[in-house]
Amino acid sequence: MHVDFFDFFRWVLGTVVTIYATVVTAQSLYGWYVYLGGQERYVSLMRRYIMLQGLRLRIKTFGGDTLICILLTVVWILLIRAHQLVARIDPYPHSDGSRAVTTR
Amino acid sequence: MGQELSQPDNSAGAGREIVLSAPREAVAAQAIAGQAIAGQAPSRQLAELPKDELAHLAESLGLDSTRFKTQQDLVAGVHGRRQLIAAMDRQAMLDVVRWGRRPVTINATKEQIAQEIARVRSMKFGGLSHRGLVVLSLLRGVETAEGDPTPLVVRRLKRQEGIFSRMNRKRRAVLGGLVASIVGESNPAPDYQFLPDPNAGDGNPAVAGSARPASIKDEIEESGLFGGISNRIKKSADQFLNQKLDEIEGRIDRKLDEIDRRLAEWRDKEIANRIKILKITLWASVIVGIFSLIYAYVTEYLVRPH
């Protein structure tokens, strides 16, 4: 059995990191949801204050970095697409029709 | 701004209506204060009051309750006084309040203003407008018409004061002068300012003010030696407390602003940090992706299996 260690590392790392990040993010969001969903006076105050802070946030301050993140995401999607295209490349000459086309 | 309010004159029994002009807030306050029991005439409500409360009400409106022999007379007197107040010009009443430096809000009801006017004992009428003088004389029980000349109204007011009261006032004035010279008070009084509206809730210090009399001499003349001095001490203490409270409020406001500013800074820093982490992750993903692509291309295409 042939194992491509680069592919193996890539997929394992990607899977572990994705699951870890998802779990940690979900936990954090749920914690905030439970805290801010309270009916106490000060929780309500905090809820409104956070909303106010959000409204007072200036997009211009973080606009450049956000744009870079969006462009990098686009590049990353294009790279995935490029990977798919490379995987479909048939390395064998099959002009005589005797060999099968490799597809993944 | 102004609003007309019709008030039926029940005591006369002739169905006469007194039409008066008052601000909307004052009208609302009057409606709340004056109609505690809906559907009942004011005189009926007054008659239900205990005797001491009725006497207190009469005193607060400037009536001498001892002059009324029976409770019915007192009720009629209070009712008549209320109607007199309702018929008065509000601006003229405010003139008296400014002159007497009594603490009222700008939207106080006529009855509240009249209660403050009833506490004014001063007999120095300098600075008081003619219409204010007429209002003051009416509230002090002096029969005066709008067209009466000012000297005549002043003379009637002085005559109404009585000899003993005048002598006592003169004595208090001399005493007040002595105390003022001992204390060395020479500061001129600041301009009158109305109290802030308690319903406004903003406590704007620009409109807040005290009704401090012009001098300690006047105060002693009005309230006597101990009354004047105690009033002055009380007002000084109030002023000191107000000043300290303002300072504390200002300090709390500054601290809250500082907290808000720091929170905003922390928020910006935190968001910038998160975006930076995201950017580094994306850069790493893209670089690794490019390497992976090159690797795949090389292994799948260039290094052909034989």
Is residue B222's pLDDT more than 80? no
Q: Which of A57, A65, A103, A104 to mutate to test the interface with B (most CBs of B within 10 A)?
A: A65
DSSP string, B152-217: HHHHHHHHHH-HHHHHHHHHHHHHHHHHHHHHT--PPPPPP-PBPPTTT-S--TTT------S-HH
pLDDT at B105 over 90: no
Give the confidence band of B249 by pLDDT, cuts at 50, 70, 90. very high
Task: Scan for tokens 């009400």, then name that residue.
Answer: B57
Number of Cβ pairs closer than 8 Å across A and B?
64
Q: In this complex, is the C-beta atom of B252 within 8 Å of any C-beta atom belonging to chain A?
A: no
Quick check: A103 contacting B, CB < 8 Å? no
Which of the two residues, A35 and B305, has the higher pLDDT score? A35
Q: What is the pLDDT of residues B61-73, one digit of tens each?
A: 888 888 888 888 8
pLDDT at B305 over 60: no
Residues 6+ apart with CB under 8 A from B169: B123, B161, B221
Q: How confident is the model at residue B89 (pLDDT cuts 50, 70, 90)?
A: confident
> Is the CB of residue B124 less than 8 Å from the CB of residue B218?
yes
What's the pTM value of the predicted model, to 2 decimals? 0.45
In three-state secondary structure terms, B5 is strand
Chosen for mutation from A3, A66, A69 (greatest number of chain B CBs closer than 10 Å) is A69
Q: Do residues B27 and B5 touch, judged by C-beta distance below 8 A? A: yes
Q: For B175-198, what is the mean pLDDT?
A: 69
Does residue B293 or residue B43 have the better pLDDT? B293
Q: Do A87 and B297 touch (CB under 8 A)?
A: no
pLDDT of residue B26: 41
Mean predicted lDDT score pLDDT of chain B: 76
Q: Per-residue pLDDT for B5 more than 60?
A: no
Looking at residue B234, its pLDDT comes to 87
Residues of B in contact with A92 (CB under 8 A): 304-305
What is the per-residue burial (b if ≥16 Cβ within 10 Å, else e) of B228-265? bbebbeebeeeeeeeeeeeeeeeeeeeeeeeeeeeeee
What is the average pLDDT score of chain A? Answer: 84
For residue A17, what pLDDT is reported? 92
Of the listed ranges A19-23, A70-74, B4-8, B162-166, the least confidently predicted one is: B4-8
Sign of CA dihedral B53, B58, B59, B60: positive
Contact present, B79 and B11 (Cβ < 8 Å) = yes
Residue-level pLDDT at B214: 57
The lowest-confidence range among A95-99, B41-45, B100-104, B146-150 is A95-99
d(CA B244, CA B241): 5
- Nearest-Cα residue of chain B relative to residue A49: B260
pLDDT band at B12 (very low <50, low <70, confident <90, very high): very low
The token pair at B217 is: 């001499």
Strands (E), A1-104: none
Residue B33 pLDDT level (bands cut at 50, 70, 90): very low
Q: Is ipTM over 0.90? A: no
Phi, psi (deg, nearest 5) at residue B119: -85, -10
* B242 pLDDT tier (thresholds 50, 70, 90): very high
Say if residue A34's pLDDT is above 90. yes
Asked whether the beta carbons of B23 and B12 are under 8 A apart, the reply is no
Residue B28 has pLDDT above 50, yes or no: no
**Comparing B73-77, B193-197, B200-204, B283-287, which segment has the lowest mean pLDDT?**
B200-204
What does the pLDDT read at residue B276? 94
